[in-house]
Structure 1
Amino acid sequence: MQYASTRGHTASQNFSEILLGGLAPDGGLYLPVSYPQISADELNIWRGLSYAQLAFEVLKKFATDIPEADLKSIVERTYTADVYCNVRKDEEAAQITPLRVLQEDHGGKLILQALSNGPTLAFKDMAMQLLGNLFEYTLARQHAELNIFGATSGDTGSAAEYAMRGKKGIRVFMLSPHRKMSAFQTAQMFSLQDPNIFNIAVEGVFDDCQDMVKAVSNDLEFKQRQKIGTVNSINWARVVAQVVYYIRGYLSATTSNDQKVSFTVPSGNFGNICAGHIARMMGVPIHKLVVATNENDVLDEFFRTGVYRVRKSAETWHTTSPSMDISKASNFERFIFDLLGGDSARVAALFRKVETEGGFDLSGKPGSDGDEFAKVARFGFESGKSVHTDRLQTIRHAEQKYGITIDTHTADGIKVALEHLEAGVPMIVLETALPAKFNETIREALERDAQRPAGFENIEALPQRFVVMPANVDQMKAYIASNTGL
């Protein structure tokens, strides 16, 4: 399996090379030269597999340069009940990503797929735990080290840090928007005292953090000298790890391959739902992929109009589903590449226009950049938007009707999913995080605190270790260099 950039860089790369590299040299994102296909026979066989066994079958289609025995060992070490039963120790939790039917009537079937029982109580653990083990394995083979430079709007940071803490040959430099995460999210990251973890609170919004990660990654001399890698969803390995739980969700919700399912996914950076798109391109019978945004609705706007218009920092809302407070969806480029039929020159031109003019228009109207929006329906995409009052109402609805407490991002997903239900096609909502991570809003909605898993009772009171810095690329490079010794 070989990989190429969405912007045309053609140097042949294998899985291990792009695992450590992050962005392609031309600033594009890596994709396989062609998507491997999943046959009906394979799907039938996979119905009886454990989550770890399924992950191995999927990943070996992409990581063809890693010996299968080694890959199997990594996967089996990653996807265990000990790692993913952080909250519950029952038989259902041991399934790693169990489904729960919330409602089933003439209007359709609504299902919640639990993805947040990992070490940091968020779906990001599903990929990040694997990434940590893949990084350690690959670096050991190459007798190398890696300085991970990433950005988080809330959950990626803690998931990455918990996965990488103590890993040999790895340092983590994680940017987050200063005072724009929940108190729990902030404490989960900043309370880590491991010497290989560096938390940097940036005076700005998430997009400022993400822009600096891309700027550093595009400085090829600095990137090579400082051995920079990334764990954001621009990293292909993280996306392909997420493909696994879409396949698991499909197999768990159906009994035969002539059935279809839809997924609704809370989304800001397009990484999570991009994995669903890839599963669909591989042949998984996915009917619709519904993008659920919050007030930062750049993706909803595109899937309604064909206009991709990024927002400036001052136009990015700070909301009660903060992990989606993103106005420049970096992973979106992978879908646009497929939408344009693999025309890398056009992809490069469109995303240069994003940097210079703030967006592009594929609506087909006079003066637009193309008419490909008409093809979006072929890929199954639809979208919807949820705001603060919707979140409060949906959290209350979920407790009253379903008997569960959900977090704010999952509330965005359920609100939008209910607007897209279809009779005969199960709708799976991907859970984003546990409600304890957003207790301020849970208290506002339900007038009580969210239940906290053991070990997280007083996390906000722990000593915190972080630095505050401006959104300045040169200062950030100097900080990285001063802490690597390279």
Structure 2
Amino acid sequence: MHYVSTRGIAAQHSFSTILLGGLAEDGGLYLPDTYPQISDAELTAWRQLSYADLASAILAKFAPDIPLEDLRELTKKTYTAEVYRNTSNGNAEQITPLKKLEDGLYLQELSNGPTLAFKDMAMQLLGNLFEYTLDKQHAELNIFGATSGDTGSAAEYAMRGKRGIRVFMLSPHQKMSAFQTAQMFSLNDANIFNIAVEGVFDDCQDLVKAVSNDLEFKRQQKIGTVNSINWARVVAQVVYYFRGYLSATSSNTEKVSFTVPSGNFGNICAGHIARMMGLPIAQLVVATNENDVLDEFFKTGKYQVRQSAQTYHTSSPSMDISKASNFERFVFDLIGRDSTRLAALFRQVETKGGFDLSGGPGSDGDEFKRIADYGFSSGKSVHADRLATIRMVQQRYGVIVDTHTADGIKVALEQRDRAIPMIVLETALPAKFNETIREALGHDAPRPAGFENIEALPQQFVVMPVDVQKMKHYISEQTGL
């Protein structure tokens, strides 16, 4: 298997080659030249596997250049009961158990890791993959990433203490929850650098892309990324779609649907890849908050990003994104993997703010009618919906969910086909967004042991403007390169 850029770079790369780099040299995102297919016999055999063994079986299809035994050791080291211990049923061995809310409606627990968010599912594996690869190459890596809330802490907890790795993590200043902020800024490891950017998440993401596109600086400073623009992050997320499907069905003739709270499109992009591999997924439902650029696209075919001033700061802050970087991977497939046209469309995003695939007058294409062929639909949830859903889920099912998961449940109930099981992907544990839980329910969210007073811990971070040159100077100062 080889990897190609969505924007047409001619070189073909192995999994190990693209693992440390993030963006392709032409500014595009890496995808396999073809998606590996799963057989009915494989899917049947996978029903018997542990999560760790399922992860190595799927990863092996995308990383044939890494010995299978090494992959197995890496996934067994990653997916352990000691790391993923916060399951509601107390059985940490299940890693991502399904919680039945009612007949045909399930919540897949993905927040059982060390930072209580789904990002741990991929980030813990990525940390071990990085360390494995750097050891092989006798190399170092400076990770430069951006977070709207959960990616940052998941990356830092996965990379702290790792040999040859530093982490520079950007976050929007004063726009995360108090819990999210404390998780990141209270770390005092020597290889962790937290940078609060005076802007919104999209500004942070633009800084990461600008620095990554300076190829000389990237090589000199050994820059890599852990954002979901990194292909390995997405592949690791593919695994829990397979686990969710296998847990909800008893035969391979059945279908399921997934609803996914979506901001940067990485989580649901993994579902798209699982479906392209042959997993029997009926619907992939995109659930957005007030920042509804993706909902607008899947309803109209028009993709129109918002500027920083028009990006809302909401009670589901990890989805406060108006320029979803992983969306490019889906559009690449939607337009028939035409990299020249893909590059032209995303140039329009930079110059005109978006593009139009509706097929209407003046549009850039007519692919909107093909979206249903990929199983996608969408819906939107706002703050009042969030509060109502949190209350309803607690009263009806006896479960407290976080704000993003509430967005997903609200949209899932609107979109579900009762003949097909619907799985809502959990985003985080409610303790991470206690301010809104208290507003909805009148009391605090439960906290797992060890997180009781996290907001009171001393915090270490620097505040910086949206300035590429100042960011480069700061990185250079800390690395001494």
Residue of structure 1 equivalent to 2:215: 220
1:69, CA displacement in angstroms? 1.1
1:342, CA displacement in angstroms? 0.7
SS of corresponding position for 1:465: coil
Residue of structure 2 equivalent to 1:366: 361
1:402, CA displacement in angstroms? 0.5
Distance 2:87 2:73 in 1: 25
Residue of structure 2 equivalent to 1:101: 100
Residue of structure 2 equivalent to 1:63: 63
Residue of structure 1 equivalent to 2:190: 195
Residue of structure 2 equivalent to 1:459: 454
Taking every aligned residue pair, what percent have the same amino acid on both sides? 77
1:454, CA displacement in angstroms? 0.6
Alignment TM-score, normalising by the size of structure 1 = 0.98
1:94, CA displacement in angstroms? 1.8
Residue of structure 2 equivalent to 1:329: 324
Match of 2:464 among 441, 461, 469: 469
CA deviation profile, 1:85-127 (whole Å, cap 9, x unmatched):
1466822x320000011012xxxx1100000010000000000
Match of 2:288 among 288, 293, 296: 293
1:19, CA displacement in angstroms? 0.5
Match of 1:162 among 152, 157, 160: 157
Residue of structure 2 equivalent to 1:80: 80
CA deviation profile, 1:122-181 (whole Å, cap 9, x unmatched):
000000000000000000000000000000000000000000000000000000000000
Match of 1:240 among 221, 235, 242: 235
1:12, CA displacement in angstroms? 1.6
The answer (yes or no) to whether the contact 2:260–2:268 under 8 Å persists in 1 is yes
SS of corresponding position for 2:350: helix
Residue of structure 2 equivalent to 1:23: 23
Distance 2:352 2:312 in 1: 21
Structure 1 gaps of 5+ residues are none
* Matched letter for residue 327 of structure 1: S
* Matched letter for residue 130 of structure 1: L
Match of 2:474 among 452, 456, 479: 479
SS of corresponding position for 1:61: helix
The answer (yes or no) to whether the contact 1:87–1:454 under 8 Å persists in 2 is no
The answer (yes or no) to whether the contact 1:87–1:453 under 8 Å persists in 2 is no
1:423, CA displacement in angstroms? 2.1
SS of corresponding position for 2:100: strand
SS of corresponding position for 1:240: helix
2:46 maps to 1:51: no
SS of corresponding position for 1:122: coil
Structure 2 gaps of 5+ residues are none
Residue of structure 1 equivalent to 2:390: 395
The answer (yes or no) to whether the contact 2:315–2:436 under 8 Å persists in 1 is yes
Q: What is the count of residue pairs matched by the alignment?
A: 481
Distance 1:423 1:481 in 2: 55
Distance 2:177 2:204 in 1: 17
Distance 1:66 1:94 in 2: 26
Distance 1:353 1:325 in 2: 22
CA deviation profile, 1:38-66 (whole Å, cap 9, x unmatched):
01110000001110010010000011111
Distance 1:338 1:376 in 2: 10
2:181 maps to 1:183: no
* Matched letter for residue 161 of structure 2: G
CA 1:37–1:159: 2 relative to 1, 3 Å: same
Distance 1:358 1:478 in 2: 29
